[in-house]
Each structure stands twice: as C-alpha cells, then as structure tokens.
Homo-oligomer: A and B are copies of this chain.
C-alpha cells in the first residue's frame, strides 16, 4: 500500500487518525499525575512522553491544550508548576486506559479507575503507587507548535523512584522484568520482551554484514 499526501488527506477521519497515530512506531505508556491549587488530583494516560536530555535530566511531552480531557492536566501543571510521570505496567493497563474517559474536574481519575495516590515529601503532585518507575517533574517550559496548535511541555526531573533490582550497575533499566508496556495508535497495548543489547557502535568493531 502506497499512500501519498493526497491519499492520506482523503482517508476517512478515524482511519487516518489510527494510521497516522501508528506510523512513528511504538510509544511509551505513561500516566501523568497532577493536582490543582485546591488539592483536586488528576490522572491521564499519555503516549507522547520522550527523552529530551540527560544533563540536565529533561523529559518532553506533547499535548493539545484544547483537548477536552487532557486540558485538566495542562491547567494543573500551569497552576502548581509540577507533575509526575509514571510508567504503566501490564498489571494495570485497563485502569490506565480508562483514565482517558471524560471525568469531571471534581472527580479524580485515581479513584475513578482504582489507582492509588502516593506522595513524596516536599513535592506537591501525586505519583501512582502501583507504578514501579515514576518521577516528579518540575515544569520548565512550554513550546507552542504553531503548525497544529499542540504544545511541547518540558519538565526536569526532581525525583526518580525505581526498584533497586530493576537497574543494573551501568544504569540500564529492564523493561521486560518491570512488566513495561508500549502503545500503538490510540488504544493498542504491547508487552515488551527484551531481545538484545548491543555495545556502543564503533566503526573498528563493525560486525561482518556481507
């Protein structure tokens, strides 16, 4: 199947949405935890988080400020300046997925889907107790993407919580062991199975590919 720009544009809306949401490849499954100034918590699933830098430790995320559900996340981040990112695992993918239902602002998705708020002293935003890899982020910057009205949000890592035995001595995280998952498109969940680790690629140590 070869689709040109015009073919893509001519596709039925939902089909286009599904195809285009899949073509960049597997996406990480994270829950973003926030709180407003009155103490009302919010939890939302995001597949758009990405690594932005390790020194300082920065995580990026794309969001649509006008999205009827994700809007609360953005409002809370602006209000308090902090948010959390929590890995989704196999054990609670359905709960994580349903945080995307349209809860009212007065209802917390934590209670709505049965996940547990966890707090770190001195940090306002709620973590997800069920998640094994989670971090508290400080909102640093938003970058408007004028082409389509989305924004990129940049956060720096204030707190990082990981099980001791999930990280090896060089700092590699084993996502299979953690029951990590990925998302394709809007609603397909994939299990991760570690298959290979290669050394830093040196030209002088190139395998024979002929």
Chain B residue nearest to A171 (CB atoms) is B18
User: How many of these chains are in the complex?
Assistant: 2
A209 to chain B, nearest CB (A): 4
Task: Count residues of A near B (Cβ-Cβ below 8 Å).
Answer: 114
Interface string of A1-18 (1 = CB under 8 A from B): 111110011010111111
- A62–B203 alpha-carbon span in the complex (Å): 24
Q: Across the interface, which residues of B come within 8 angstroms of A27, CB to CB?
A: 26, 28, 50-51
Give chain A interface residues in 136-172, CB to chain B under 8 Å. 140-141, 143, 145, 147-148, 150, 152, 154, 156-164, 167, 169-172
Interface of A is mostly: mixed
Q: Across the interface, which residues of B come within 8 angstroms of A85, CB to CB?
A: 23-24
Interface string of A55-66 (1 = CB under 8 A from B): 111111010000
A50 touches which of B50, B53, B154, B210 (Cβ 8 Å): B50
Q: What are 13 of the A-B contact pairs (CB < 8 Å)?
A: A2-B120, A8-B57, A20-B57, A23-B51, A25-B180, A102-B202, A113-B209, A114-B209, A152-B152, A172-B184, A181-B195, A187-B198, A190-B193
